[in-house]
Amino acid sequence: MSTGWTSSRPASFSIIVHGGAGTIDDSQEPRHRSGCERATHAGQRVLLDGGTALDAVVAAIHVLEDDPVFNAGRGSTVDAEGMVTCDAALMRGEDLAFGAAGAVAGVANPIDLARAILEDGKYSFLVGPGAIRFARAHGVRLIDPSQLEADPSRSKWWTTRAEKPTGDTVGAVAKDARGRLAAATSTGGLLGKYAGRVGDSPIAGAGTYARDDWGAASATGHGETLMKVLAAYAAIRAMLAAEPSEALVETLEEGLRRVGGRGGLIAALPDGRLAWARNTLHMGYAYALDDGAVVSGF
């Protein structure tokens, strides 16, 4: 178990991202750190310019989805039929607005589709071909699905993952200067998953949750287990009663122990402090408070 939090002081605005929890080859650490740092910088720039927490997490996820080292967007893995399908979700803590897409193929940045669904407001969760039609109608960029496939240099460590995969996902949570919170999560799902499988990432409360007066969280790991304990929601609720890092550990140890799961969490408090935890071997992450330097870990 590894955990931490920015206990020193509250922040006017802040952001933290993760690049997925699991077992990652040591040779990939520099790329994971660099990707998380660049994503954090992108979100921090939005916040420095007075942008919203929602804008910041979308900007951060864009960087991660465009980086083939991560299992999201461009770097997504294939399912059992050799197809690439992605899930993504976005939640705004101010009004609990939520947008999610599941099992979508050929969306350049799945987080953009999640945002289009959130902003349209009529639906909260769209999947499959219907989601693609919605994306086309709302100007979300579509590409050939073959362009969304993991970097060949990662193939060895993908195919030698443990029999019980812990998953690999990207996420971001942020607080802006007006006190608004947002959370975003995006993933290509489990390597070799059954076609049509959707994990925890796009499920409100499981992989993604934000509420301004409570906190915001993004989860990563084995989706089938994270769903069962509503990991993101449970972490936020636990932070209301305990030190943030202890709350995340409690969620991972007590909640996931019951269902045999492994994973990681990042979270933001209403006062801008940040927390992170994992019970896997690795989880790349990076964060920034106000206009301070970006800090990363693995």
- DSSP readout, 138-181? TT--B--GGGS---GGGHHHHHTS-SS-----EEEEEE-TTS-E
- Give every CB contact of residue 166 below 8 A, 6+ residues apart in sequence: 21, 22, 23, 221, 222, 262, 263, 280
pLDDT of residue 150: 59
pLDDT of residue 162: 38
Q: In which domain, by residue range, is 182 found?
A: 2-297
Q: What is the pTM of this model?
A: 0.94
**Total structural domains in the chain?**
1
pLDDT of residue 158: 45
pLDDT of residue 152: 53
Give the residue numbers marked as catalytic.
Answer: 169
Q: How far is C-alpha 76 from the geometric centre of its chain's CA atoms? A: 14
Task: Find residue 286's DSSP bridge partners.
Answer: 17, 296
Q: Is 252 exposed, middle or buried (0-12, 13-18, 19+ CB in 10 A)?
A: buried
Asked if 251 and 133 count as a contact pair (C-beta separation under 8 A), the reply is: no
pLDDT of residue 166: 41
What distance in Å separates the CA atoms of residue 186 and residue 72, rounded to the nearest whole number? 6
Q: Residues 76-134: pLDDT tens digits?
A: 999 999 899 999 999 999 999 999 999 999 999 999 999 999 999 999 999 999 999 99
pLDDT < 70 positions in the chain: 149-167
- The CATH number given to whatever domain includes residue 86 is 3.60.20.30
- Give every CB contact of residue 82 below 8 A, 6+ residues apart in sequence: none
Question: Which amino acid is residue 297, in one-letter code?
Answer: G
